[in-house]
Chains A and B, each alone.
Chain A
Amino acid sequence: MLATQSETQFLDEQDAGWKAFVRRLKWFDWLYAALLVVGMVYTFMSLDQHRDVFDTAILLGMTPVFIVTGWWWKPFRLLFIGVVVLALLATQFYAGDLSRANTQFFLKFMLASQSAIGWMSALFFMATASYWLGLLARSEFAAKVGTSLTWAAVVMGVTGMLVRWHESYLIAPDYGHIPVSNLYEVFVLFCIITALLYLYYEGRYATRAMGAFVLVVISAAVGFLLWYALAREASDIQPLIPALQSYWMKIHVPANFIGYGAFSVAAMVSVAWLLADRGILASRLPALEVLDDVMYRAIAIGFAFFTLATILGALWAAEAWGTYWQWDPKETWALIVWLNYAAWLHMRLTKGLRGAMLAWWATIGLVVVTFAFLGVNMFLSGLHSYGSL
């Protein structure tokens, strides 16, 4: 079978129980954990005055989540440390004064949120080109460059989002909010999450060939983002309207975008599957079983998070709009997306369906997802109007 070194190793890690997992941790894992705990304690102390029960719960809850994620997916540790360092640097450069974004060199050309997101955009385009070069010219080096560029793009994207968060508080304390409140911000989030999910599968399956496909959908999102920022001036930080002032937003929106991101990865991998199945690029792409497996895993994780996100949305709606479900177009389309992937999983898991049919279905699923994500905002009216175009 396809038992490469890393895959066997992965199974070792997964099967042998958590004790063995902890035994295998290296010194850097423990250093990483220690840094996070110190950071948490420091934040805990310095926010003592302003912290409410949700902040405390998030702080206490997310620290172990980030630690375990880093232990389990090693590159995450460096990413985490990297963006924290960059974001802290940016806050130091700002020193509480927003106007420094135009005068301080590093802020203006790199770390201020719009500059960082600009870098993210450029890096994603370059990564796409590198992956395609790697795929078409069978150049391992170009593909490796693609991977590095994608990582760099993610670092800049996350930094941009964190700095944007900081900037919102610098405008005025009552402006401050997590940047997941409008279409511009969630598009950046979508690019980051899709790239991270892809990078995870790239490492796990030890193949870079899928990057060329997944990065296409990210580039499309970046293209939209640039148009939205340049033509529609959508990038300004806006204060939160009362309906959005809720803790639920902070978990509902990211959970949703893990879902959307994963479905997008699945759709692009299924495009690769369909091409390879017809002999196009087949020799350059991983085996069909591998593509099929990635497709399944992406949809599975996407489905789990999408379910969670929809439920969180319902909990929030119950608090904000007085009912957990009222057939708002966005809600209804979320249900349609959910039903679509529920049916996909049923066909695969209980009917054992495989092959072109599932790949086509996953590809078309992206159209449904895109409509739920964008189309509803463009063509239908409803309560989710803050995402409007």
Chain B
Amino acid sequence: MSDSSSDTLRAEAVSPRQRNFANQLFELVSSMRFAISLLTLLAVASIVGTVLKQNEPYNNYLNQFGPFWFPLFESLGLYAVYNAVWFLVILAFLVLSTSLCIARQTPHMLKEMRSWREHAQEVSLRQFAHHAEIAGDVGEQAQGAASHYLARQGFRVRTVVRDDGTLIVARAGRFNRLGYFLAHIAIVLICLGGLLDGNLPLKLQMWLGNKQILQGVAMMGDVPASARLGDGNFSFRGNLFVPEGKSQSAAVLNVRDGILIQELPFSLSLKKFTIDHYTTGAPKRFASEVVVTDRKTGEQVERTIEVNKPFTFNGITIYQASFEDGGSQLQLHLKALKQGVLSQAFQAEVGVNQSIGTGDSARTLEVTGFRPINVENMAVRDDSQATSLAMSVNKHLGSAVSKPGDKDLHDVGPSFSYKLRDAAGQAREYNTFMRPVQQDGRWWMISGMRNSPQEEFRFLRMPLDDEGKLDTFLSLHAAIQNPALTKAIANRFAQTALQQQGSNASVRPKLVETAERTLTLFQVDGLKSVADFIETQVPAPQREAAAGVFLKVLYGCVWEAWQMQREADHLPAQDLDEARAMFVRAVLAASSDTLHYGAPYFLQLSGYNEVKASVFQVTRSPGQPVVYLGSALLVAGILCMLYIRERRLYLWRAVNAHSWLIAMSANRRSLDVGLEFAKHQQALTHTLSRSGAAPGQ
């Protein structure tokens, strides 16, 4: 970045040099053109890195680009642009170019800072953009007054009496030149520091130390020495996963599509991990209470590490990065949704797989997570209310606090997520809440299911009975889905219908048959098979009426099944009121939905013992102080360059001249140089002619 300033005096001819190849190369690499080209390249490469998500699992890229482009992009290093060799080479060249530029410019800059230019010739002064003849006196007094004026204006002044005349030289803002030096050395420091903290040291170690990255998960003890980095490593950045009550002394470094293990000179044990929440449910504080033990000296330090409050131990900084479940213990209750499945209670642990069920309903249960708190917005939006602009504006007057009715935030309690994988390896994801949730005036157990991570969860809502239990629903569901009971329910349905309507007993067989067929249809695929049947068998005009009849029959059957169970349990008969009718409708809908739930059972969470784990980032960044020093110099340099204006003002009186020549130069051409010159010209004319003698002498 050669500084070819517009200073007129610098027009001194550069002595012709021996321009051999080395010189030309030096010129090229230290030129501003070269540096700007590098910077442009750097900017373009950086843009690529922001558009393409970096450091994703390699499978994602394979899916995104396909088998042809994937290896090509991989060889270009596009999945980790900022660690790619070519990117580091550009950075290295930038450092080289800037260093050479500094080496080239600094001697000249120092000379300029020191030089008073006492030998400036009248001819060259007359070539300045700002120069003028001004009238005024000669002599000690006048010169003294002019020097005084200039000094007060912030110039440093020197008067030189030469054989050919008198020259008053004034200069200000010489630290502008220092700014150039500071800003450019800063760039070099920042790049060097960045290279020290980046991926380069790791690359070198892998190359020199013959280290191999590890693919796939291995137990800590099985990791070979070729994938381990010693605790003397001077620059690294890794992750440390520590469950509560456990301790860890090696970090994991993610490298390309694998990992390396970084030994740490200390072990870190997590006593407790705390999450505080705001009333909105948003997280307020993540804090890990840790004990750090030096592995050599045995020295122990207790600390609380929080986001924005890292802890540095023997040169290694430990940050709160994230948190996960550390293997919570869950008490689960398996509740049958299909014939032949036995309900049972069992224990599960987050992160541990186990087999459940037998025969057709055998699955591998993979518990993937547990959340003790789920804050949901339970507000019902009233869309019927017309919203006029005036209302909308009124809503936005006043304080910036959400208005009542906007949000109704509630903690709906714990939830756990799991996958059920069948023998074929197909897995469905579930997310089930522990506590019932109130919706539409009734309490429900809620469980979400999706077939793949791309889908949204679909929710199964199962109604609770008056005792707040799922039992009534489950037994009614079992009854109406059980072909062996279908006949009995249908019979009872027909009997009740005849009693109520008082119709002819001859229609009874027909009624029984209708109820039986409807129930059997329902057992295939729930309400969907009923709808499909109507769609295919009933002419369009009668479909609505037919649907009403089918539903009435189904509701009736559920009701009868309920009453049959109550009789069997020796409970008194019930009247069909509106609340019970609602329950019946809910049972039917939920029973239908279970057929699309994809699992033969529902896992109810009955108790838990939460174990949290904290994820820390541990780094040793030797370049950090270098980068910070560079940053400080950069700010100082930029302020000097932009806000210290270097100016030189000359007052020249040749031996036989009748007036002063005033000339001014600045290393930047800008509007205020002209303004300032005009001001000084005016003031100096005044100053120089005040000392008594007539102007022009």
Task: State whether A108 touches B3 (Cβ < 8 A).
Answer: no
- Give the interface segment out of B16-24, B325-333, B675-683: B675-683
Residue in A108, A109, A112, A336 whose beta carbon sits within 8 Å of that of B43 in the complex: A336
Task: State whether B398 touches A108 (Cβ < 8 A).
Answer: yes
Task: State whether B82 touches A327 (Cβ < 8 A).
Answer: yes
Interface size class, chain A = 35 or more
Chain B residues whose CB sits within 8 angstroms of the CB of A233 once the complex forms: 402, 406
A118 to B280, CA, bound (A): 26
A112-B399, A114-B399, A343-B36 known; A380 and B50 CB under 8 Å?
yes
A107-B398, A242-B285 known; A300 and B671 CB under 8 Å?
no
Q: Is B401 an interface residue (CB 8 A)?
A: yes
Residue in A8, A108, A167 whose beta carbon sits within 8 Å of that of B401 in the complex: A167
Expressed in whole angstroms, the minimum distance between the Cβ of B253 and any Cβ of chain A is 13
Q: Is B621 an interface residue (CB 8 A)?
A: yes
Expressed in whole angstroms, the minimum distance between the Cβ of A160 and any Cβ of chain B is 9
Chain B residues whose CB sits within 8 angstroms of the CB of A349 once the complex forms: 641, 668
Task: State whether B675 touches A8 (Cβ < 8 A).
Answer: yes
A2-B675, A329-B50 known; A308 and B635 CB under 8 Å?
yes
Task: State whether B638 touches A171 (Cβ < 8 A).
Answer: no
Task: State whether B46 touches A336 (Cβ < 8 A).
Answer: yes
Chain A residues whose CB sits within 8 angstroms of the CB of B278 once the complex forms: 172, 174-175, 239
Chain A residues whose CB sits within 8 angstroms of the CB of B36 once the complex forms: 343, 346
- Give the interface segment out of B302-310, B340-348, B449-457, B486-494: B302-310
Q: Is B120 an interface residue (CB 8 A)?
A: no
Name the interface residues of A331-350: CB closer than 8 Å to any CB of B.
332-333, 335-336, 339-340, 342-343, 345-346, 349-350
Task: State whether B396 touches A242 (Cβ < 8 A).
Answer: no
Expressed in whole angstroms, the minimum distance between the Cβ of B188 and any Cβ of chain A is 15
A102-B398, A235-B396, A241-B282 known; A11 and B624 CB under 8 Å?
no
Expressed in whole angstroms, the minimum distance between the Cβ of A321 and any Cβ of chain B is 7
A350 to B5, CA, bound (A): 5
Task: State whether A167 touches B400 (Cβ < 8 A).
Answer: yes
Expressed in whole angstroms, the minimum distance between the Cβ of A235 and any Cβ of chain B is 5
Q: Is B429 an interface residue (CB 8 A)?
A: no
> What is the 8 Å Cβ interface bit string for chain B, positions 289-310, against chain A (1 contact, 0 not)?
0000000000000000011111
Q: Is A322 an interface residue (CB 8 A)?
A: yes
Q: Is A236 an interface residue (CB 8 A)?
A: yes
Chain A residues whose CB sits within 8 angstroms of the CB of B285 once the complex forms: 242, 245
Task: State whether A230 touches B635 (Cβ < 8 A).
Answer: no
Chain B residues whose CB sits within 8 angstroms of the CB of A243 once the complex forms: 307-308
Expressed in whole angstroms, the minimum distance between the Cβ of A206 and any Cβ of chain B is 13
Q: Is B506 an interface residue (CB 8 A)?
A: no
A352 to B678, CA, bound (A): 22
Q: Is A66 an interface residue (CB 8 A)?
A: no
Q: Is A319 an interface residue (CB 8 A)?
A: yes
Q: Is A378 an interface residue (CB 8 A)?
A: no
- Give the interface segment out of A73-81, A142-150, A289-297: A289-297
Chain B residues whose CB sits within 8 angstroms of the CB of A303 once the complex forms: 638, 642
Name the interface residues of B354-372: CB closer than 8 Å to any CB of A.
none
Task: State whether B282 touches A239 (Cβ < 8 A).
Answer: yes
Chain B residues whose CB sits within 8 angstroms of the CB of A187 once the complex forms: none
Chain B residues whose CB sits within 8 angstroms of the CB of A107 once the complex forms: 398-399
Chain A residues whose CB sits within 8 angstroms of the CB of B309 once the complex forms: 319
Q: Is B353 an interface residue (CB 8 A)?
A: no
Q: Is A113 an interface residue (CB 8 A)?
A: yes
Task: State whether B42 touches A339 (Cβ < 8 A).
Answer: yes
Q: Is B469 an interface residue (CB 8 A)?
A: no
Q: Is B77 an interface residue (CB 8 A)?
A: no
Task: State whether A1 touches B397 (Cβ < 8 A).
Answer: no
Task: State whether A304 touches B679 (Cβ < 8 A).
Answer: no
A243 to B81, CA, bound (A): 26
Residue in A2, A170, A340, A351 whose beta carbon sits within 8 Å of that of B671 in the complex: A2
Name the interface residues of A171-211: CB closer than 8 Å to any CB of B.
171-172, 174-175
Task: State whether B154 touches A229 (Cβ < 8 A).
Answer: no
Q: Is A238 an interface residue (CB 8 A)?
A: yes
A335 to B5, CA, bound (A): 26
A308 to B631, CA, bound (A): 9
Task: State whether B675 touches A235 (Cβ < 8 A).
Answer: no
Q: Is A55 an interface residue (CB 8 A)?
A: no
A350 closest partner in B (C-beta):
B3
> What is the 8 Å Cβ interface bit string for chain B, positions 661-695, against chain A (1 contact, 0 not)?
00000001111101110110000000000000000
Chain B residues whose CB sits within 8 angstroms of the CB of A292 once the complex forms: 671
> What is the 8 Å Cβ interface bit string for chain A, positions 92-122, against chain B (1 contact, 0 not)?
0000001001100001110011110010000
Task: State whether A17 touches B152 (Cβ < 8 A).
Answer: yes
Task: State whether A307 touches B308 (Cβ < 8 A).
Answer: no
Q: Is B549 an interface residue (CB 8 A)?
A: no
A15-B676, A300-B642, A314-B631 known; A335 and B46 CB under 8 Å?
yes
Residue in A229, A323, A335 whose beta carbon sits within 8 Å of that of B237 in the complex: A323
Chain A residues whose CB sits within 8 angstroms of the CB of B6 once the complex forms: 352
Chain B residues whose CB sits within 8 angstroms of the CB of A332 once the complex forms: 46-47, 49-50
Chain A residues whose CB sits within 8 angstroms of the CB of B39 once the complex forms: 339, 342-343
With most chain A CB atoms within 10 A of its CB, the pick from B43, B53, B285, B635 is B43
> Please, how many residues of chain B have a CB less than 8 angstroms from a CB on the other chain?
76
Q: Is B499 an interface residue (CB 8 A)?
A: no
A17 to B310, CA, bound (A): 45
Q: Is A72 an interface residue (CB 8 A)?
A: no
Chain B residues whose CB sits within 8 angstroms of the CB of A293 once the complex forms: 670-672
Chain B residues whose CB sits within 8 angstroms of the CB of A102 once the complex forms: 398
Chain B residues whose CB sits within 8 angstroms of the CB of A56 once the complex forms: none
Task: State whether B50 touches A322 (Cβ < 8 A).
Answer: no
Expressed in whole angstroms, the minimum distance between the Cβ of A182 and any Cβ of chain B is 11
Q: Is A16 an interface residue (CB 8 A)?
A: yes
Q: Is A282 an interface residue (CB 8 A)?
A: no
> What is the 8 Å Cβ interface bit string for chain B, positions 614-646, against chain A (1 contact, 0 not)?
000101010010011001001100110111000
A246 to B152, CA, bound (A): 45
Chain B residues whose CB sits within 8 angstroms of the CB of A114 once the complex forms: 396-400
Task: State whether B396 touches A118 (Cβ < 8 A).
Answer: yes
Q: Is B248 an interface residue (CB 8 A)?
A: no
Name the interface residues of A3-37: CB closer than 8 Å to any CB of B.
3, 7-8, 11-12, 15-17, 20
A102 closest partner in B (C-beta):
B398
Expressed in whole angstroms, the minimum distance between the Cβ of B120 and any Cβ of chain A is 22
Expressed in whole angstroms, the minimum distance between the Cβ of A181 and any Cβ of chain B is 12
A323 to B620, CA, bound (A): 10
Residue in B1, B398, B634, B668 whose beta carbon sits within 8 Å of that of A101 in the complex: B398
Task: State whether B308 touches A320 (Cβ < 8 A).
Answer: yes
Task: State whether B308 touches A118 (Cβ < 8 A).
Answer: no
Q: Is B413 an interface residue (CB 8 A)?
A: no
Task: State whether A171 touches B670 (Cβ < 8 A).
Answer: no
Q: Is A373 an interface residue (CB 8 A)?
A: no
Chain B residues whose CB sits within 8 angstroms of the CB of A229 once the complex forms: 396
A175 closest partner in B (C-beta):
B278
A3-B679, A11-B672, A11-B676 known; A339 and B43 CB under 8 Å?
yes
A238 to B1, CA, bound (A): 47
Chain A residues whose CB sits within 8 angstroms of the CB of B660 once the complex forms: none
Name the interface residues of B581-627: CB closer than 8 Å to any CB of A.
617, 619, 621, 624, 627
Name the interface residues of B1-49: CB closer than 8 Å to any CB of A.
1-6, 32, 36, 39, 42-43, 46-47, 49
Expressed in whole angstroms, the minimum distance between the Cβ of A364 and any Cβ of chain B is 14
A336 to B627, CA, bound (A): 19
Expressed in whole angstroms, the minimum distance between the Cβ of B638 and any Cβ of chain A is 6
Q: Is A381 an interface residue (CB 8 A)?
A: yes
> What is the 8 Å Cβ interface bit string for chain A, positions 342-369, against chain B (1 contact, 0 not)?
1101100111100000000000000000
Chain B residues whose CB sits within 8 angstroms of the CB of A308 once the complex forms: 635
A113 to B678, CA, bound (A): 49
**Other 15 A-B pairs with CB < 8 A, given A172-B279, A336-B43:** A8-B675, A112-B397, A114-B397, A167-B399, A174-B278, A233-B402, A292-B671, A327-B46, A327-B49, A327-B54, A333-B50, A346-B1, A349-B641, A350-B1, A350-B32
6 contacts between A and B (CB under 8 A): A11-B676, A167-B399, A233-B406, A300-B643, A303-B642, A322-B310
